[in-house]
């Protein structure tokens, strides 16, 4: 693991449905952490993680043994624990000094409850000050927590959805989106923020109070 410092990028791979295209995000990573069976997706691409963490209930035991033999750190937790494998992996990434984290394999899979829990991890205030995104192919999710601003990666025509989490999101402002919001409130449970669109590259979203999930979808992926 790298020492704490400026510009430390971590990739955390969960056991969901990572896409082959997601491997491009591994470039330039300072640390790669597998949450349990996330190691299997990495192994299929010939990538060795720095750490495998979790209760090891879904990883192939032979793969785990092979990785340990090759010097990969393995941190095993009991099955009866108070945090998901992905939560544990994120905590280790932050402890390693990461200030940018990309989660792969957090979306999809057979368990809707796990997928929702993964997305809701993004809103946890423990990650304040960290650039944290969950990515699968043409979809990325990040969270705005409290008074903050996010620059969007999308090109003109890409879709942007803004969903409040844990209550109303107030003082929502957008720049460069087709349907602008100017200091407005998006109520919890409402659908007003669904399927906006990037009008100009370099778009941004800002928030005064609350928590907002920002979901970006490439136009071809959302067509």
For residue range 31-87, list pLDDT tens digits in order.
999 999 999 999 999 999 999 999 999 999 999 999 999 999 999 999 899 999 999
Query: Where do we find the tokens 């071809």?
Result: 220
Give the chain's domains with CATH numbers: 9-137 (3.40.50.10240), 144-222 (2.60.120.320)
Distance from C-alpha of 161 to C-alpha of 214, rounded to nearest angstrom: 6
Distance from C-alpha of 95 to C-alpha of 92, rounded to nearest angstrom: 5
For residue range 72-95, list pLDDT tens digits in order.
999 999 989 999 999 999 999 999
For residue range 156-168, list pLDDT tens digits in order.
999 999 999 999 9
* Nearest Cα residue to 170 out of 212, 121, 201: 212
What is the per-residue DSSP string for 81-94? Answer: -SS-HHHHHHHHHH
């Amino acid at each position: 693991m790298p020492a704490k410092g400026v510009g430390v990028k971590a990739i955390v791979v969960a056991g969901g449905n990572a896409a082959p295209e997601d491997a491009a995000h591994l470039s330039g990573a300072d640390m790669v952490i597998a949450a349990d069976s996330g190691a299997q997706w990495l192994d299929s691409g010939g990538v060795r993680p720095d750490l495998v963490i979790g209760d090891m209930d879904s990883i192939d035991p032979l793969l785990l043994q092979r990785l340990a033999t090759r010097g990969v750190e393995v941190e095993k937790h009991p099955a009866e624990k108070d945090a998901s494998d992905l939560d544990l992996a994120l905590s280790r990434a932050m402890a390693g000094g990461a200030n940018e984290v990309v989660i792969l394999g957090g979306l999809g899979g057979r368990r809707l409850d796990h997928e929702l829990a993964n997305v809701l991890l993004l809103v946890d205030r423990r990650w304040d000050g960290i650039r944290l995104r969950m990515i699968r192919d043409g979809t990325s999710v990040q969270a705005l927590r409290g008074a903050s601003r996010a620059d969007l990666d999308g090109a003109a025509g890409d879709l942007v959805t803004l969903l409040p989490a844990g209550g109303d999101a107030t003082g929502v402002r957008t720049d460069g989106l087709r349907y602008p919001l100017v200091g407005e409130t998006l109520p919890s449970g409402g659908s007003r923020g669904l399927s906006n669109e990037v009008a100009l590259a370099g778009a941004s979203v800002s928030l005064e109070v609350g928590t907002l999930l920002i979901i970006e979808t490439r136009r071809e992926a959302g067509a």
